[in-house]
């Protein structure tokens, strides 16, 4: 990982995160949530584009998807591998990796690169 240390904001030890945990930090003037899901770290702006709610205080789940398998058949529903986080105010849900709303890809919450070095989690400011 070749990032300038000046562009990193320290979050804390990776060992202190369990899956589903989120830590809210300041990146510049923005609140950013650092979230662990399936052992991976993600960072996403803690502001829902819908009504300004604290996205990162919401639940992390797998996205429920459906598939049309044939005329007259029930839509086959299953939880996919995609991790999503849902704003607790109204349920707007976003892919953790991309910040894209799961129902409309024109809506996106800013995401940030996460760096783990020496077991310490950092968020890259993007500057």
Partner 1 sequence: MIDAAEETVIDCDWHYQDSFKEVAEYMPEPWYTKYKRSNWDDAGVKQNLSSFFPTSTGDRQNYGKVLREHSNYPDAPEEPERVTEGMDFLDIDISLQISHLILAMGGVTADDERVQAFTRGYIEYMLEEVLDPDEGVYGLAPMPYGDVEASLDILERVEDEEAYVGACFVTAGASPPLGNRKYDPIYERCEQLDMPVVYHTGGSGLDEYVRAGYQEMIETHTLGFLESNMSQIVSVACQGVPEKYPDLDIVFMESGVTYIPGLVSRLDEEYLKRPEEAPLLDTRPSEYITDFYFGTQPLEVSARNDLLDLCFDMIGTDRLLYASDYPHWDFDSPSIINELPMLDDDDRRAILGGNAIEVFGV
Q: How far is the CB of 33 from partner 1 (least distance, A)?
A: 20
DSSP-based three-state secondary structure for 48: coil
Q: Which is nearer to partner 1, 45 or 101 (CB)?
A: 101
Q: How far is the CB of 84 from partner 1 (least distance, A)?
A: 9
Alpha-carbon gap, residue 4 to 105, rounded angstroms: 31
DSSP-based three-state secondary structure for 14: helix
Q: Which is nearer to partner 1, 28 or 103 (CB)?
A: 103
Q: Are 53 and 42 in contact (CB under 8 A)?
A: no
Q: Which is nearer to partner 1, 68 or 127 (CB)?
A: 68
Point out which residues bind partner 1 (CB under 8 A): 50, 63-68, 71-75, 77, 90-93, 101-105, 107
Alpha-carbon gap, residue 46 to 54, rounded angstroms: 5
């Amino acid at each position: 990982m070749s990032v300038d240390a000046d562009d990193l904001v320290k979050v804390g030890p990776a060992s202190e995160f369990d899956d589903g945990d989120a830590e809210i930090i300041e990146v510049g003037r923005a609140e950013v949530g650092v979230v662990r899901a399936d052992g991976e770290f993600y960072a996403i702006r803690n502001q829902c584009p819908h009504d300004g709610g604290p996205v990162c205080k919401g639940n992390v789940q797998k996205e429920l998807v459906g598939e049309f398998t044939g005329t007259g058949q029930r839509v086959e529903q299953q939880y996919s591998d995609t991790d999503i986080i849902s704003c607790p105010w109204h349920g707007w849900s976003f892919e953790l990796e991309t910040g894209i709303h799961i129902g409309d890809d024109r809506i996106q919450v800013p995401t940030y690169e996460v760096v783990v070095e020496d077991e310490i989690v950092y968020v890259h400011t993007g500057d």
